[in-house]
Chains A and B, each alone.
Chain A
Amino acid sequence: MPTKTQQDIDRYARDLNPEVYTSVYGGTKATTEKRHDVLFHDYPDPDLLRRTAGEVKQHTLENLDTYLPKAEAALKANGAQVHFAADGDAANRIILEIMKANGAKSMVKSKSMVSEETGLGHFLEDNGMKCLETDLGEFIIQIDHDHPSHIVKPIAHKNRRDIAKSFEREGLGDYNDDPATITRRAREFLRGKYFEADVGLTGANFVSAESGRLAIVTNEGNARFCMAATPIHIGIVGIEKLIPHDRDLALFTSLIGRSGTGQHLTVYTQFINGPRRFGQPDGPEQMHVVFVDNKRTEVLASNCREILRCIRCGACLNVCPVYRQASGHAYRSVYPGPVGAVLSPLLAGTRFPELADLPKASSLCGACNEVCPVNIPIPDLLLRLRDKAKTEHAGRAMKGTPPMGMYGLLASQPHAWRAAMTMGAAMNLTPNAVMNIIPPAAAWNSCRQLPKWRGGKFRHWMKERGKN
């Protein structure tokens, strides 16, 4: 039965279209099971791998001031151009300038969460450039004027019937919801576009400081096309993506596919460390890497810095019972689920209060930490942000949560506590009609029944035994 609620995510979940719920629940559950099977089949102790990967990332983050210049130097030595963007706007402007300086008009774009963060696609369109998403999910999102609801599977909220309708509307053939047909039609449409475009843009899953090498893992090969068929390649990369050495890629590529989609490896793993060299048959003539900060150094200075270890695999979303009920759009931000509940309010900077309710949308079950390939203590970080929200009076976050001042007082004064334990028995006599006016009791009673109050009985039993 729907219940009155003050928190936005709870309201979103309550009013969610059942078809979206079915898509998200089914997909996340299946992926979680696949992840478990693959990881535990391939490794005797995947936990050890997770912990190691977490330590490598943490080490890199704590020494970014060494690794970032190292990566920059390596990339430059390879003939690539390196740019640093303090925020999302700066990143977008740098990319626009690269296009303008080369007389470029159109971009084919491979999936990149940081470009979602900066709003790159819309920015380029607003500035007269064409920008075409080439990841199948992102392409569908683009034609639907939607936004992604999941980090790895951006259209986890849509089913094949939705997609067939979109394709029909956009003139990509008659209604046909056969997945193979949908994929074939998208491929036919996109193939030519790679060759027409002036610029190919990708993100990067990892950047080796040692060689400047960008590692890009995909399942569709579109990133590879973006790099191979266009004269200019731009890699847009959050500064947290660095890892120390090329050899570390073995660990991270092993974990990302298994954790994210339950694959041993993703279908395509692409490496690029510079523009095309003499004698090479393909590859871009120019390569640019834009390192984006956008509040990351602030996060690094905060008590939630571990969140920057995140490799965007989506395992925490899949296993999260709240995400499964609410779906990604409930999180009102680029990064949904448990990782988003931490990262989005932090990346919001001074707009923290607007997203300060996200860390509340968790039962703190810890499943996210258990599956995280870089062992991020997400529940601890959610708790720290709840404390921050309370300390900074972010009212939105506190809505619907019982005030705790009185509890703190009562629970630190044993006499008052014991008296309250006995007096609580009055609840047994209070009619529901009265109980339901008290907000926390009403929210509890809307879907559950409280047991009989038996306060003081155990203490009495202990005392009686003392007398014997």
Chain B
Amino acid sequence: MTNPQRTVPAPKKVQLMATCLCDAFFDDVAVATVQVLEYLGVEVGFPADQTCCGQPAFNAGDWKASRKVVRHVVDTFKGEDPVVVPSGSCAAMLFHGALLEFENEPDLSEVKQLANRSWELLDYIVNGLGVREWPGSFPHRVSFHRSCHLRGTCSGPAAMNLMKSIDGLELATFGEAEQCCGFGGAFSVSHPNISARMGELKLEHIIAANPEYLVAADMGCLLHLGGIVDKSGIELPRLHVAQVLRDALVSANLLPAA
């Protein structure tokens, strides 16, 4: 899966799609996203009518229900401003999944218009705004789980390179990094045994690398991996890349501490 040809540059005014997972569980990830974007001089709008990207129903095979949600997204995120999402899978839903399920729909062009200005957060920062280095320090050993929705997009390398530029941050690589964590949305519930074993295998590799934090750019993966970790009582704190970037800024007094 590749990002579509962008039809807009990356102006410094965006609409934030916080994602349903941040809305429900991970508010600090959304906060960090806003703080990081604002530090970069980006004006962040938050359309309050936003809900979800439509992916749960899309993956579950209920495209009728999913299209209803995507139409709402199109309505909510009108205009020309880029839509920035701190999640690879929700971004991919907007620029890839939605196009699939609207292939034969009369309003495909509106969905396309949204797709062409949808960005995953790190892709926007690195490839959109051209930010190559990050100030501040984060003196910790972290393992970065490259979520599957960053496969073939420019966001995975973007996240890695930006983190590598942070003072003191040490990347702990681990085995079979290309393998999925096992979340897969509805898959985690319909195929609980396979999903959990995939997660456990992933965690075995990560834990062997002995990181202080597990970092990803998608809270879906971290909801699942974190859920397994917490259930088994292992200590492994998780962070979204946006939180790492934010904490680095705080360490350099570029942002006030929370």
Contact = CB atoms under 8 A, between A and B. Distances in A.
Interface of A: 2-3, 5-7, 9-11, 13-14, 29, 303, 319, 321-322, 325-326, 359-367, 369-370, 379-380, 383-384, 386-387, 389-391, 397-405, 407-414, 417-418, 421, 424, 440, 443-444, 446-455, 457-459, 461-462
A448 B224 contact: yes
Given A387-B61, A408-B62, A401 B190 contact: yes
Main SS class of interface, A:
helix
B194 A407 contact: no
Nearest to B50: A414
Contact of A451 (B20, B57, B58, B223): B223
A3 B60 contact: no
A360 B148 contact: no
A454 B64 contact: no
Given A449-B231, A458-B22, A417 B184 contact: no
B255 interface: no
Given A408-B57, A451-B25, 4 more contacts: A7-B190, A322-B194, A402-B186, A453-B24
Interface residues of B, number: 73
Interface in B49-86: 49-52, 54, 56-66, 68-69, 71-72, 76
Nearest to B62: A404
B190 A383 contact: no
B39 to A, nearest CB: 14
Contact of B190 (A360, A384, A387, A411): A360
A412 B68 CA distance: 7
B192 A10 contact: yes
Interface string B24-64: 11110011001000000000001011111010111111111
Contacts, number: 226
A366 B89 CA distance: 12
Interface string B76-102: 100000000000000000000100110
A10 B231 contact: no
A411 B186 contact: no
23 contacts: A3-B193, A5-B192, A5-B193, A7-B191, A13-B197, A303-B103, A321-B201, A360-B61, A360-B187, A365-B151, A365-B184, A387-B101, A391-B64, A399-B190, A401-B189, A414-B72, A448-B224, A449-B230, A451-B26, A451-B230, A454-B25, A457-B27, A458-B30
B1 A454 contact: no
B60 to A, nearest CB: 5
Given A389-B61, A405-B65, A408-B68, A443 B56 contact: no
Given A387-B61, A440-B189, A447-B196, A363 B151 contact: no
B24 A421 contact: yes
A418 to B, nearest CB: 8
Contact of B182 (A363, A369, A386, A410): A363
